[in-house]
Amino acid sequence: MRFSLITFSSAALIGLLTHSALAAPVSSLVLTPGGYHASNKVHPVPTGGRVSHVGSDIHVLDTSDNLVYIATPTTTVATPEQTGSVTDAHWLNTGSIPIYFFLNTWNVPPVPATWHGQTIFLFNAIALSTFEASLQTVLQYGGSAAGGGEYWAVATWYLYGSEAFYTTPVEVTPGQSLATSIELIEVNGTVYDYLAAFDVAGTELGVNGGEQLTLTTKTLESYGVTEASDYPTGETEFSINILLYNNDFAPVSWSVVDDPADGLSTTVNTNSGDGGVITITY
């Protein structure tokens, strides 16, 4: 059962906090679309800025390329259980040609009927197959490390090992049409540069010098949900195009993971890289 899992996770997290308090200064845990992270591992990226892999560090740069922060990732990765993933569709590109564009359009769902401090993330991501790195365009209801509250907001996130980077959330309204693009902008040997954004000002996030990202996902995650009405009602339909770096449409074949206990499901309506359709039903 989903709800008892959340209770168990909270207890485990409190245990973790208590334990680390004995050894090191307490760093509180904050919520990201990749699960709970130590607050000092979650970093805002200035509007128009980007992150850049430099050796084993990740530099946060502002819009004028000034260095604002150096993060040193460790390989600690949240397991799928810890991420709170509820329902998803995923496709792994096993071909030799990288993904060029992962494009999605959908509408902001209605606001949930009840508010219990829950957080809902609805995102499109391109990730390493190990999930150790993930670039995501995230629609969020409720709070996270990036902010937010009793409203829908959009932000772009990059998760890498222990670190998380985000753009400032921008409020959006129910019914608003959203388009997202995750684009491979340059390849140099084994080094990949990506750019991800919504069609909403202030959500653009570049990632330079990273690894090739091969796993596409569309995911609904929730935290702190106590009853069904904490979710929106109805369904969210995504229209999807995935292009490969040679401009061919990708040979997409989506797999889905449902959460019947919560009445949440993902349906592949059109299994294609050219005008694909996937529906998440609440």
Ligand X SMILES: *[C@@H]1O[C@H](CO)[C@@H](O)[C@H](O)[C@H]1NC(C)=O
Residues that bind ligand X (CB under 6 A): 188-189
Taking the least distance from each CB to ligand X, the nearer of 25 and 189 is 189
Shortest Cβ distance from residue 179 to ligand X (Å)? 29
Shortest Cβ distance from residue 74 to ligand X (Å)? 25
Taking the least distance from each CB to ligand X, the nearer of 208 and 217 is 208
Does residue 156 contact residue 207 with C-beta atoms inside 8 Å?
A: no
Closest residue to bound ligand X by CB: 188
- Taken in order 242, 248, 253, 255, the sign of the CA dihedral is negative
Taking the least distance from each CB to ligand X, the nearer of 51 and 139 is 51
Shortest Cβ distance from residue 84 to ligand X (Å)? 38
- Taken in order 29, 32, 37, 41, the sign of the CA dihedral is negative
Alpha carbon separation from 277 to 40, 104, 268 (Å, rounded):
38, 9, 6
Shortest Cβ distance from residue 220 to ligand X (Å)? 37
Taking the least distance from each CB to ligand X, the nearer of 4 and 190 is 190
Tokens coding 230: 């904490």
Alpha-carbon gap, residue 158 to 165, rounded angstroms: 5
Shortest Cβ distance from residue 192 to ligand X (Å)? 11
> Longest C-alpha distance within the chain, in Å?
55
Taking the least distance from each CB to ligand X, the nearer of 193 and 230 is 193
Does residue 150 contact residue 115 with C-beta atoms inside 8 Å?
A: yes
